[in-house]
Amino acid sequence: MTMTDTSTETDARPILERARSAMSGLTTVQAAITAVVEQLRQARASVRPEEAVVEYALDALLGGGAVPDDLGSRVLQIRRSNEAALATAQVLGPLERRLQERLLAVHREQADPALNVLAAELLELLTEARPVLARLNGVDDAEDAIAADRVDEWRQAVALTSRYAAVRDAQRVIVAGALDPPDQARLTARVSPAIRDLVDNFGVVRQPHLHFPEVGTGVNRSEVRVGQSRIFSGRIVTDAHTDRPARPRPWTTGDPVADLRFLVRDHVIAWVPTVAELTGARDEHERRKQAEARAEAERRPGDEQPERRLPRGRQMPPPSAALIDRLAREELGEPV
């Protein structure tokens, strides 16, 4: 029998599902929750009203028969069955809540293995994207691609941007599960604006401030009017005002191909950081901002030497014609 090597087969599952498969214990907890929820549903559905015995006796009498002699035993049977079902539900309810707590714990504790899967996917797709984008040579839309005979490359680039968007969407969901766990009903969909900003600011490229100094501020420094710095709760706070909307980050411009082009530049290091790396990058950025703001707040008048200017005085009157004539004759060597 011929052995088939499947090690190079492509995993067709969505990237979020593939990433979550690396989270130890996740599948087990999810299966347990599914089983408990189904059993709880069955227990609640099995509860029957005791009035059903009344309907049973009524049907017997209206059919010309006598009062059934098993009415009491039927009531007791329903009562015992209901009590057993309710007792089961009383156990399954807290059990489900405990499993939900364990599920959230898995999302917190096992986020990094899932993020590592995304990091590998990012590396692979960027490796594929570099030659494709190089062949496009600045083509920005489908019409230009047709004109430049680069339709195949454009289709490849669009497919790569879709893969890239899926990686970042999965990254946000996994980070949200680790840092901002929602209720289970929305665990696969809920990403708060704070988590989205955290990932977009510090989870896309290393040292983002080198490429976008305004990262984390929401404003463009070139368009900002900075006010006074003050100390608030032990922190230096600087009032800033802007008259124009902030420019986008160069890696989240809204143009998928342009974003991908930025990430494959030689001086840009794209990444999918672990949770600790992500929060560490944010915290380091905050420390840098605080240090800059503190230095600005502590700067005293006179620390910077003003530009030296010549004093303003009265202008000298223009030289007389006689003086000019004398200087000319001296320069030419003629007798004075």
Q: Tell me which residue has tokens 């490796």.
A: 127
Q: In terms of pLDDT, which residue wins out, 118 or 320?
A: 118
Pick the range with the lowest mean pLDDT from 24-38, 100-114, 135-149, 292-306. Answer: 292-306
Give the model's pLDDT for residue 11.
72
Q: Is residue 207 part of a domain?
A: yes
Half-sphere exposure of 185 (CA within 13 A, CB side): 0
Place of tokens 């009265």: 314
Assess whether 166 and 63 both reside in one domain. no
209 and 72 within one domain = no
Residues 159 and 294 grouped into a single domain: yes
Residue 313 in any domain: the answer is: no
Q: Are residues 193 and 286 in the same domain?
A: yes
Is pLDDT of 230 > 70? Answer: no
Domain-terminating residue out of 109, 126, 143: 109
Do 212 and 79 lie in a common domain?
A: no
Percent of the chain topping pLDDT 70: 75
End residue of a domain, out of 84, 109, 134: 109
Residue 254 within a domain: yes
Closest CA to 170 of 20, 42, 277, 66: 20
Domain hosting 24: range is 12-109
User: What's the number of CA atoms in the CB half-sphere (13 Å) around residue 260?
Assistant: 31
Same domain, 101 and 158: no
133 in a domain, yes or no?
no
The total number of structural domains that make up the chain: 2
Signed CA dihedral, 202, 207, 209, 212: sign only:
negative
165 & 255 share domain: yes
Res. 236: pLDDT tops 60 = no
CA 165 → CA 42, 183, 293, 336, distances in Å?
41, 25, 35, 91
Question: What is the overall mean pLDDT for the chain?
Answer: 82
Judge whether 145 lies within some domain: no
Residue 266 and residue 186 share a domain: yes
Shared domain for 289 and 158, answered yes or no, is yes
Residue 315: pLDDT above 70? no
Q: Say if residue 225 is in the same domain as residue 279.
A: yes
The whole model's pTM is what?
A: 0.71
* Residue 303 located in a structural domain: no
Tell me: do 249 and 156 sit in the same domain: yes
DSSP 8-state class, residue 270: B
Q: What is the pLDDT of residues 173-195, one digit of tens each?
A: 999 999 976 554 445 557 889 99
In-domain check, residue 170: yes
Task: Tell me: do 95 and 177 sit in the same domain.
Answer: no
Domain boundary (109, 128, 162) is at 109
d(CA 238, CA 221): 13
120 inside domain: no
